[in-house]
Structure 1
Amino acid sequence: MEEPPPTQSFSFAELFLESDHSVRNPNGTCSTYFPPPLIAFRFGLVTVFGSIVALIGMVENLLLLYLFASRKHHRTSYNLYMMLLAVFDTFVSGAYVPLMSVNVAGDFFEDPWLVKIWYSYMRPIYTISHVGLTASTFLIVAATFERYCITMNSRALKWAQRNRLFIASFAVIMGIFSKGTIGYELLYITAEDCKGTMMEISLTNRKFVYETQYHEWMRLWYRNLVTIVAPFLILLILNFLIIRALRRQPQMTVCSQLAGPAAADISKRKMARRNATKSLLLVGICYLFANVFHLVALVWEQNDSEDARNQHEVWSKVYAILIDVASLLSVVACAFRLPILISCQQQLREEVKTILRNVFCCKVDKKPQDDNEKLVTSGQSSHTTHENGMETSNKEKKEIRVCLPVDGNDNALIPSTKSLSNGKHYSIDGLQIYFHNGNETLL
């Protein structure tokens, strides 16, 4: 078995490990175990409160995942990002209890058996949680960029919508690339003379981490800048620009510019799109708030050594609480996704109610599963009957009602005599519409 390097420290970017007793005491004897600072307070914060929040967040995100995955108009629209975000939020919330809560509980009860169980599954769950956190970060950035393009009516909007699946896949791949090896970097050290004690197993890094440029380039620069600092700054800027644009937009909708029966539907759709923008803004703000503590700890680490933190009792306690709060806020942000989305978007709220009624009630409403999937419906038959009973052909003037499920969640039914062709732009009643692969986008 490899021997650990002479000095080891885990950066804050490697969340969840800082609270591990064996990392702080790798060279101690079997009889010199020292519990982490403020362990009773941290037990209540992490193991009790944090576990409750994590379980709630996991259930909520499973509900969101079912909602988005079971309806085609969500899978093929902007909510693709929300669906993937629900997947990784479920992983992050589900990993919190075995990774953080059990770890702190082992220190609180000083139970070697519980600590040994924790080590048996720590590395794979640790990797999954970090991949989930990082992929979620990139997905939020991608979703915010598309929402920014919609709000600003940017020329990049068409590109972002056509390549939505590619962008989302790239965000997931970046999450795997950035944190997929984080579990392999860790090494277990077993002290044979300490079997059955709290100090039987300790954790360190493999030799290649510090003996090569891997630590400086991958861990220090890439992971800190690309997965923490850059997304934080990008979201901060995009959210500021979106809020400023929303404040400048007039409250009047396009109803005043349209004539005909579609005016009310278009007005409703405009409001739905605005509400969808607000919901994503709140999701982004939750992320920014949660990651403020990440940035504070990151700056602290770069300007202070681990030995200096441990030697000062007060700062050691503050640092331990800072790390626990940062990890807790990550799952709090996951738990807030569902309340934010259903409070801002009426149709999502109604769809969630329908799902819950179907789950908890015996009687299921016999409604179409997905009205938005009815893309084009004929408004008239091929023959009409006049008052005199004469049947006349009406094939030449067939009314088509176009459903617009993209970017908002309410349909705008637009009467038109045009048939839609794939990859074409249309102007229908003064509205610019792009039709591609069965999806219409109101520009």
Structure 2
Amino acid sequence: MDVFFINDTFTRECNLRPLEHANNFRFILVGVIGAVIAMLAILFNIIVCYIFLNSRKLRRQNYANPVLLATFDIIVSFCYIILQSIQVIGYRFRFESMIMAWIHYVRVANCLQHICVNICNFLLVIASIERLFANCSDGAQKNLLVFMVRRKVFVTSGAVLFSIIFKGTLFLETTILHLPNCELLESYIPVWAEMNSHWDTMRFWSRKIFTVLVPFISLIYCNARIVIQLREKHEETREQSMKKRSLRGALLTTGSIRKHYNEKKGVRVATRTLLLVVGCYLISNLISTIVNFWLFFDPVTLESNYYLYLVISDFSTLLTICGCACRLPIYCVADKRIRKALMRALLRWQHKARPIEVLERNLEKYSIVVVSNSLRSNLTNQPQMFNSQDLVNGRPRARDELALLLQNRRKILVDMTLILGTDRGPIIEEETTAEVTYLTDLHEEHQELLKPRRPSKFREMLANI
């Protein structure tokens, strides 16, 4: 959203001309392409939230919380639709009701979008600093990394708090200017409120510095250092492998290199993912940084080339939304575990089976495996249990009975599964008709077992298994 000063003659003379500037090119760029990319960004980030919330291992892989980043990306993409796309569509087709509704919520949506964008920037800066410390060999930097990771909640809360402090006052600093001399749809323009004191000017430019320039420069520095460190470690590992190869031989060196490679694989994957995400952010915010310098050093040229300024701003915001939409593809390309988690989630959504059907279908298989392993272990690993049993034809009777049970385990378990899976109706006891009970065969067998019977060594042995 473009906001001008309230005492600007360029604005008061109706030179903004939003109806004229909402041409077919901007309609296709912002109203169609931008809206589609924003909706894809919302969908992709919802999938990211679902994947990370359902996988504890993935949540532990990255120091910065991807769920928070995806959540704020969803809000940013939604605000893009209701701010930029709705504005261009409303002015392009002269929808008066749409423009009037946009005027009423534009201040709130603009403030919310700036807060969420700033939180995402701070989260990326925090993640870059953590990655920089993780790739360093200095003990002090490792201690700082442990300090930040253990206090992740406070660090993240600090990023949210600073974003609210810097951007939360935008709602109070903006207002809607009514221009009665302009056309009806062009008569309401969002502008900055009057800034008469030096404090207001200092607050305005300090916000630009700490929310735009400082994160931009910090991300460039941290990620450049990370790339340099990775190259140095690669060269160092290569030199060490060459020395070991000359001393120990190629076989041992290959195994040691593979072991070292697997140990550092998680660090490399997380670092590569962060580099791609931050690189996408830097590309998307490069145009915004150039426009901010243009506004500061030469505002007169901007007024004479206002349509060019609008197109550049549209590309800048569209690249920001593209960065939000590229999170999931970057995660899937860079990390194999996230790619597998996504495939599992898609399979779960495509093939949803009822829990009862799953249990009935797998009960036989799982029961056979469990009972077979238990019986096999008792038959093979504990032969001393059968030394004192009765002999039948020179063989222990208990061993023969267990072997018979093991051979017929499939039929027994299938019958048990069918009995447990069938619906049982009410069974009326023969002794009295005053009480109706729902009994299963399992309960009846339990009652039969409670009756006094002649003791059997086979049953005693089964009870001890």
TM-score under structure 2 normalisation? Answer: 0.66
Which runs of structure 2 are paired with 1:319-334 in the superposition (5 Å)? Answer: 319-334=309-324
Name the structure with the higher strand share: 1
- Among 75, 94, 107, the alignment partner of 1:110 is 94
Name the structure with the higher helix share: 2
Which ranges in structure 1 are unaligned for 5 or more consecutive residues?
Answer: 1-15, 367-383, 392-443
Name the CA distance, whole Å, in 1 between partners of 2:48 and 2:27.
30
Percent identical pairs in the alignment equals 24
Q: Secondary structure at the match of 2:19?
A: coil
The residue that corresponds to 2:283 in the other structure is 289
Q: Secondary structure at the match of 1:301?
A: helix
Give the partner amino acid of 2:124.
I
* CA pair 24-358 structure 1, distance change in 2 beyond 3 A: farther
The residue that corresponds to 2:295 in the other structure is 301
Q: Does 1:219 align with 2:213?
A: no
Q: Does 1:338 align with 2:331?
A: no
Could you tell me whether the CA contact under 8 Å between 1:81 and 1:140 is conserved in 2?
no
Name the CA distance, whole Å, in 1 between partners of 2:130 and 2:16.
55
Deviation at 1:28, TM superposition (A): 5.0
Which ranges in structure 2 are unaligned for 5 or more consecutive residues?
Answer: 359-376, 386-465
- Among 305, 310, 319, the alignment partner of 2:303 is 310
Name the CA distance, whole Å, in 1 between partners of 2:325 and 2:178.
37
Give the partner amino acid of 2:190.
L
Q: Does 1:236 align with 2:230?
A: no
Highest Rg: 1 or 2? 2
Name the CA distance, whole Å, in 1 between partners of 2:17 and 2:316.
26
Deviation at 1:184, TM superposition (A): 2.0
Name the CA distance, whole Å, in 2 between partners of 1:24 and 1:113.
28
The residue that corresponds to 2:352 in the other structure is 362
* CA pair 233-136 structure 1, distance change in 2 beyond 3 A: same
The residue that corresponds to 1:177 in the other structure is 165
Deviation at 1:79, TM superposition (A): 4.9
Deviation at 1:388, TM superposition (A): 7.7
| Alignment size in residue pairs | 347
The residue that corresponds to 1:414 in the other structure is none
Could you tell me whether the CA contact under 8 Å between 2:37 and 2:325 is conserved in 1?
yes
Deviation at 1:73, TM superposition (A): 4.0
The residue that corresponds to 2:23 in the other structure is 39
Could you tell me whether the CA contact under 8 Å between 1:290 and 1:329 is conserved in 2?
yes
The residue that corresponds to 1:124 in the other structure is 108
Q: Does 1:198 align with 2:188?
A: no
* CA pair 32-128 structure 1, distance change in 2 beyond 3 A: closer
The residue that corresponds to 1:276 in the other structure is 270
* CA pair 265-304 structure 1, distance change in 2 beyond 3 A: same
Name the CA distance, whole Å, in 2 between partners of 1:239 and 1:284.
8
Give the partner amino acid of 2:267.
R
Name the CA distance, whole Å, in 1 between partners of 2:72 and 2:9.
30
Could you tell me whether the CA contact under 8 Å between 2:22 and 2:88 is conserved in 1?
no
- Among 123, 148, 152, the alignment partner of 1:164 is 152
Q: Secondary structure at the match of 1:187?
A: strand
Q: Does 1:350 align with 2:340?
A: yes
Work out which structure has the larger RCO, using CA pairs closer than 8 Å and 6 or more positions apart in sequence: 1
* CA pair 319-191 structure 1, distance change in 2 beyond 3 A: closer
Deviation at 1:189, TM superposition (A): 3.5
TM-score under structure 1 normalisation? Answer: 0.69
Could you tell me whether the CA contact under 8 Å between 1:131 and 1:175 is conserved in 2?
yes
Name the CA distance, whole Å, in 2 between partners of 1:212 and 1:102.
35
Q: CA offsets per residue over residues 204-252 of structure 1, 9 Å max, x none?
A: 2233xx12234322111x2111111111111101111111111222386
Q: Secondary structure at the match of 2:189?
A: strand
Q: Secondary structure at the match of 1:17?
A: coil
Could you tell me whether the CA contact under 8 Å between 1:341 and 1:348 is conserved in 2?
yes
Q: Secondary structure at the match of 2:273?
A: helix
Give the partner amino acid of 1:162.
R
Could you tell me whether the CA contact under 8 Å between 2:19 and 2:186 is conserved in 1?
no
**RMSD between aligned alpha carbons?**
3.7
* CA pair 110-348 structure 1, distance change in 2 beyond 3 A: same
